[in-house]
Structure 1
Amino acid sequence: MMQTLSPRHVKTDEALRLGVESGWYAIKVSGTFVSGPHDSEGDCRRKIDEIQPPVKKKR
């Protein structure tokens, strides 16, 4: 089963420390970056939906 991804904003100071660009990233619960950087939280969430489509509930 795939882990749930969530959006996370990485600010400039943290980005410099991590060696990445600042921006929005899709991350696993473990903190591993999966996708990014994205310009906005909305862009990041759209990418998360592409990678991991929402589960449709059965009736």
Structure 2
Amino acid sequence: MQTLSPRHVKTEEALRLGVESGWYAIKVSGTFVLGPHDSEADCHRKIDEIHPPPVKKKR
């Protein structure tokens, strides 16, 4: 499973990359996977929908 991280792309960088500014879920390699999202929290929610956090087992 690929770990995704939230990353904010500011206007200047967005213009250079040809994308909208906002929050994106990215792979470790830097590849954009999801986005743009309005907030970091929205980005985290989408990441969790795709890759839910592991459920802790009760002992």
Same topology, TM > 0.5: yes
| Structure 1: gaps (5+ residues) | none
2 CA distance for matches of 1:34 and 1:55? 24
Q: Given the two structures, how large is their TM-score scaled by the length of structure 2?
A: 0.88
Change (3 A) 1:10 1:49: same
Q: Over aligned residues, Cα RMSD in angstroms? A: 1.5
Q: Deviations over 1:5-55 (max 9, x none)?
A: 000000000000000000000000000000000000000000000011445
Q: 3-state SS of the aligned residue for 1:20?
A: coil
Unaligned runs of 5+ residues in structure 2 are: none
Identity of aligned residues (%): 91
Larger radius of gyration: 2
What's the TM-score, normalizing by structure 1? 0.88
The number of residue pairs the alignment matches comes to 58
Following TM superposition, where does structure 1 have runs of at least 4 consecutive aligned residues deviating by more than 6 angstroms? none
Rounded Cα–Cα distance in structure 1 between residues aligned with 2:13 and 2:3 = 23
